Amino acid sequence: MLAATVPRTRARTNATRCVSEGTQGKTMRLGLPRRGVRARSGAFYDAPGDSRGFTREAMEVVNAVNASMDVRSGPVMPRDGAGGDPFGALLKNRIVFLGHQVDDFNADAVISQLLLLDQQDPTKEIKLFINSPGGSVTAGMGIYDAMQFCRAPVSTVCLGLAASMGAFLLASGEKGRRMSMPNARIMIHQPLGGAQGSAVDIEIQAKEIMYHKANLNRLMAFHTGQKVETIDEDTDRDRYMSPLEAKQYGVIDIVIGGDDAGLKIEGSFTEKLKTKKDYVAWGNESDDGSSSSRFTGKTQDAPLQK
**Residue 180 pLDDT > 90, yes or no?**
yes
Confidence (pLDDT) at 195? 86
Domain ranges, ordered by start, for the chain: 19-70, 87-262
**Residue 205 pLDDT > 90, yes or no?**
yes
Place 88 in a pLDDT band, splitting at 50, 70 and 90.
confident
Using alpha carbons, select from 172, 101, 113, 170 the residue that is nearest to residue 139. 101
**Residue 271 pLDDT > 60, yes or no?**
no
- Which residue among the candidates 189, 212, 223, 291 is catalytic per the annotation? 189
Greater pLDDT, 145 or 66: 145
Strands 154-163 and 178-180: parallel
Greater pLDDT, 254 or 303: 254
By CB atoms closer than 10 A (0-12, 13-18, 19+), residue 199 is exposed
For residues 168 and 231, the answer to whether their CB atoms sit within 8 Å is no
Let me know how long the chain is: 306
Distance, in Å, from the CA atom of 87 to the CA atom of 185, rounded to the nearest integer, reads: 24
For residues 129 and 96, the answer to whether their CB atoms sit within 8 Å is yes
**Residue 28 pLDDT > 70, yes or no?**
no
The DSSP call for residue 256 is T
For residues 137 and 108, the answer to whether their CB atoms sit within 8 Å is no
Distance, in Å, from the CA atom of 240 to the CA atom of 188, rounded to the nearest integer, reads: 7
**What dotted CATH number matches 87-262?**
3.90.226.10
Q: Region 131-138: what's the mean pLDDT?
A: 96
Place 10 in a pLDDT band, splitting at 50, 70 and 90.
very low
293 is catalytic: no
Confidence (pLDDT) at 137? 96
Residue type, 160: G
Query: How much of the chain exceeds pLDDT 90, in percent?
Result: 52
- Taking only the tens place, the pLDDT of each residue in 244-261 is 999 999 999 999 988 877
pTM for the predicted model, two decimal places: 0.62
- Taking only the tens place, the pLDDT of each residue in 139-176 is 999 999 999 999 999 999 999 999 999 999 999 999 99
100 is catalytic: no
**Residue 185 pLDDT > 90, yes or no?**
yes
- Taking only the tens place, the pLDDT of each residue in 212-229 is 999 999 999 999 999 999
- Which residue among the candidates 164, 180, 242, 290 is catalytic per the annotation? 164
**Other Cβ atoms closer than 10 A to 51:** 14
Q: Which residues pair with 180 in a beta bridge?
A: 158, 255
Confidence (pLDDT) at 148? 96
Query: How much of the chain exceeds pLDDT 70, in percent?
Result: 59
